[in-house]
Amino acid sequence: MSSSELEIQKAADGQKEQQVPAGAEITGAKEPEADTNTSTKADQDFAAAEQYKNQGNAMLKTKEFSKAIDMYTKAIELHPNSAIYYANRSLAHLRQESFGYALQDGVSAVKADPAYLKGYYRRAAAHMSLGKFKQALCDFEFVAKCRPNDKDAKLKFTECNKIVKMRAFERAIAVDKPEKTLSEMYRDMENITIEDDYKGPQLEDGKVTLKFMKELMEHYKGQKRLHRKFAYKILCEIDAYMRAQPSLVDITVPDEEKFTICGDIHGQFYDLMNIFEINGLPSEKNPYLFNGDFVDRGSFSVECIFTLFGFKLLYPNHFFLSRGNHESINMNQMYGFTGEVTAKYTSAMADIFTQVFNWLPLCHCINQKILVMHGGLFSTDNVTLDNIRRIERNCQPPEEGLMCELLWSDPQLWMGRGPSKRGVGIQFGPDVTETFCKNNNLDYIIRSHEVKDMGYEVAHNGQCITVFSAPNYCDTMGNMGAFITITGNNLKPNYKSFEAVPHPDVKPMAYANSLMNWLA
Q: Which pLDDT tens digit goes with each residue over 364-391?
A: 999 999 999 999 999 999 999 999 999 9
Beta strands in 58-190 (DSSP E): none
Kindly report, residue by residue over 34-71, the tens digit of the pLDDT: 455 556 888 899 999 999 999 999 999 998 999 999 99
**Residue 426: phi, psi to the nearest 5?**
-135, 175
pLDDT of 151 higher than 70: yes
Percent of the chain predicted with pLDDT > 70: 89
What pLDDT band is residue 24 in, cutting at 50, 70 and 90? very low
In whole angstroms, give the CA distance from residue 228 to residue 395: 26
Average pLDDT over residues 411-420: 96
With contact defined as beta carbons under 8 Å apart, do 13 and 115 qualify?
yes
Q: Is 183 helix (H, G, I), strand (E, B) or coil?
A: helix
pLDDT of 290 higher than 80: yes
Average pLDDT over residues 174-197: 72
Q: What is the pLDDT of residue 518?
A: 66
For 422-491, give the DSSP string.
TSSSEEE-HHHHHHHHHHTT-SEEEE--S--TTSEEEEGGGTEEEEB--TTGGGTS-PPEEEEEEETTEE
Kindly report, residue by residue over 504-515, the tens digit of the pLDDT: 999 999 999 877
Answer with the residue of higher pLDDT: 166 or 161.
161
Kindly report, residue by residue over 297-321, the tens digit of the pLDDT: 999 999 999 999 999 999 999 999 9
pLDDT of 26 higher than 60: no
Average pLDDT over residues 141-159: 89
Percent of the chain predicted with pLDDT > 90: 77
The DSSP call for residue 207 is B
Closest CA to 480 of 496, 459, 464: 496
pLDDT of 199 higher than 80: yes
Answer with the residue of higher pLDDT: 174 or 339.
339
pLDDT of 235 higher than 80: yes
What pLDDT band is residue 21 in, cutting at 50, 70 and 90? very low
Average pLDDT over residues 275-291: 98
pLDDT of 255 higher than 50: yes
pLDDT of 16 higher than 60: no
Q: Known catalytic residues?
A: 326
Q: What is the pLDDT of residue 461?
A: 97
pLDDT of 253 higher than 80: yes
pLDDT of 130 higher than 90: no
β-partners of residue 490 are 487
Of the listed ranges 4-8, 483-487, 513-517, the least confidently predicted one is: 4-8
What pLDDT band is residue 520 in, cutting at 50, 70 and 90? low
What pLDDT band is residue 25 in, cutting at 50, 70 and 90? very low
In whole angstroms, give the CA distance from residue 259 to residue 255: 11
Q: What is the mean pLDDT of the chain?
A: 90
What pLDDT band is residue 174 in, cutting at 50, 70 and 90? low
pLDDT of 23 higher than 70: no
Answer with the residue of higher pLDDT: 152 or 367.
367
Q: Is 417 helix (H, G, I), strand (E, B) or coil?
A: strand
Kindly report, residue by residue over 424-482, the tens digit of the pLDDT: 999 999 999 999 999 999 999 999 999 999 999 999 999 999 999 999 999 999 999 99
